[in-house]
Structure 1
Amino acid sequence: MSDIGASRLSPWVITEGLAGLQAQALGLAEAAGLSPQARVLKPAAPWKWIAAKFWPNPLAAVADAVKAPLPGLAIGCGGMAGAVLAALRRPSTRVVQVQNPRMDIRRFDLLIANRHDELTGPNVFVIRTALHRVTQQRLLAAAAAWRDRFAAYRRPLVAVLLGGSNGRYRLDRDAGAKLAADLAAMVRRDKVGIVVTPSRRTDPAVTAQLRAALAPIGGWVWDGAGENPYFGMLALADMIIVTQDSVSMISEASATTAPVLFVPLPGRSHRQALFLKTMMEENRIRAFAGRFTQWPVAPLNDTPMAAAEMRHRLGL
């Protein structure tokens, strides 16, 4: 194997360090059987205040993260990563961008784009779900690790994954109050157990609303202390509820064997609407209407397919 070929097996994964972006790029690399090295972009002033697509020299703006020797393959996710990948590209360094980079797609060897990105081209591979790190092996391990800890909660067990306000949708106190009331009513009517995890974007006031509504009736809301229960919840839930703001969490939940319901929120997003439409047409998700709901489902996960396509196109 050539030095370039060997270095492609240990690619750089380039992101701004945000968990959602990093999980997508790492998930793609891992699904391809590669051993990625995470590189976090931390631009210096004044570039941290300027959109990356306007940087005259992207590699100089994030010099600490892209020190030589350069890899044979770099995978990035997000707009900042796109600008850096385009600058890194050369015959000895192939670059793969996850998500629409909002720049000339000819500057990349391969783009992995969601259907709702509405991006086409000879170097574009289109998928239905966001890329992620949920695998059957991880779910089996998480089920074993968390089964005893969740044994105290009534079955069927409902897992609730909370996102947060993001400029397109609002998960504020009003939306939180409605969700808390709907979940509490479901627990009482349908005799289910319930476990909830907030994310970094969840307003603490919303988390408190759900805890106040659910704790008295046997529900559990993670307080952020100790081991993260996220994968355990995915692995053990009989139904998963996700707030509609998060494409990533809906995609991760859909990689399990549990039915997935999304919580409608105030706001509007054309891209999000297209994503939800695709997933509903696949009969993988439905809107949450306040009741425990079951229907036959199978895991839907396009990450392995995207990884296989990347290996094929780049000769990995």
Structure 2
Amino acid sequence: MLDRAARRAVSPPLSIQVVSDGRIGMENQALGLAEAVQRLTPADISVRRIRWRTLFDKLPSGLKTSWMLDLSSDPAEPAAGEDWPDLWIATGRATLPLSARVRAASGGKTFVVQTQDPRWRNAAYDLIVAPAHDRVEGPDVLSITGSPHRVTAGRLAEGAAAFAGALEPLSRPRVAVLVGGRSRAFDLTEAHAAELADRIAAAVEAVGGSLMLTFSRRTPEAAKAAMTARLGGLPGLIWDGQGPNPYFAFLKFADHVLVTEDSANMAAEAASTGKPVHVLPMIPLKPAGKFARLHADLRQRGAARPFDGTLTAWTYAPLVETDRAAAEVLKRMMRG
């Protein structure tokens, strides 16, 4: 019988299955890694979104089986007559019961990659691509700064095209502000949002720049209203959540990126652009822990600094952690 490496050599292109619970932030981690693999070798990517029935969603991963999936969920396994993929890339707690069984179910054909820290049956996957700030250890663990993502120069240029008419004429420096919100570790109250808005406005006005502001789904409405009221008078664009998302365009056109400290994903994505990343403080609800470790990592790489109320520029080598992870995936796959 051909081993996995030999089968890979005689059956290009690679088939890649991306699996998540369908939430954009989660799916983009697995999809970003899949696309990075595709940039290195011919590959076909398919996306599978799974959801568990409400009755079973909170069960421990070890007790879940495929028949417990929601009827609207994509199938957990290939349909009759279809092959298992060469590469399975999954992210999130919902995917763990499926990922842990893929190697056995596929007869060893499928190489299984889990992003984030599974915290369950870590030996069941061929490779775990985990944020360094989560401190996951093991022979089949690759630690990277942040998480895999879809931000590339090409995708930024593509995303910017639809907004060029609105953003390109803006006065420079253009300042992208990426605002998160309430989480288990941080809060963004109305008062704190207003204070941040005052500091941001003063910095933008001091340099005669412009603003490109977007909120996350976690941003409290009161905080959103406070920031919009203070910053709405500045030249620029505040995305209200309607129509196409300008996130990639903001990163492309920005000269500076300000990002709240509650989002590891946004910080790592911003650091992949080579633009100065200024970290905005939030209200801590518990010790910063992994977020403090991530920001320390980004500072050490020269990518990020705490926002000090000014828009000082600096340069650094953009992070290419997703590409590094993709190269490691292929290296291990070819090793068999």
- Normalising by structure 2, we get a TM-score of 0.87
Matching residue of 1:292: 311
The reply to whether residue 28 of structure 1 matches residue 33 of structure 2 is yes
Task: State the shift of 1:5 in Å.
Answer: 7.1
Percent identity between the two aligned chains: 34
Q: Deviations over 1:50-84 (max 9, x none)?
A: 34x2x423333237431324433211111222232
The reply to whether residue 61 of structure 1 matches residue 75 of structure 2 is no
Amino acid at match of 1:234: L
SS of 1:36's equivalent?
strand
CA distance in 1, matches of 2:54, 2:154: 42
Q: 1:219 to 1:148 in 2, by over 3 A?
A: closer
SS of 1:208's equivalent?
helix
The reply to whether residue 264 of structure 1 matches residue 274 of structure 2 is no
Q: 1:6 to 1:168 in 2, by over 3 A?
A: farther
The reply to whether residue 140 of structure 1 matches residue 157 of structure 2 is yes
CA distance in 1, matches of 2:306, 2:12: 45
Matching residue of 1:180: 197
1:89 to 99, 103, 114: 103
CA distance in 2, matches of 1:56, 1:7: 36
Q: Does the 8 Å contact 1:129/1:301 carry over to 2? A: no
Q: Does the 8 Å contact 1:4/1:71 carry over to 2? A: no
Q: Does the 8 Å contact 2:87/2:112 carry over to 1? A: yes
Match runs of 1:1-316 below 5 Å: 2=7, 6=11, 9-33=14-38, 34-51=43-60, 53=61, 55-62=62-69, 64-69=74-79, 70-90=84-104, 91-267=108-284, 268-315=287-334
The number of equivalent residue pairs is: 314
Structure 2: which 5+ residue stretches go unaligned? 1-5
Cα RMSD of the aligned pairs, angstroms, is 2.1
CA distance in 2, matches of 1:299, 1:3: 32
Q: 1:28 to 1:106 in 2, by over 3 A?
A: same
Task: State the shift of 1:180 in Å.
Answer: 1.2
Shift >6 Å, 4+ stretches: none
Structure 1: which 5+ residue stretches go unaligned? none
Task: State the shift of 1:290 in Å.
Answer: 1.6
Q: Does the 8 Å contact 1:96/1:109 carry over to 2? A: yes
Q: 1:223 to 1:6 in 2, by over 3 A?
A: farther
Q: 1:174 to 1:35 in 2, by over 3 A?
A: farther
Q: Does the 8 Å contact 2:181/2:216 carry over to 1? A: yes
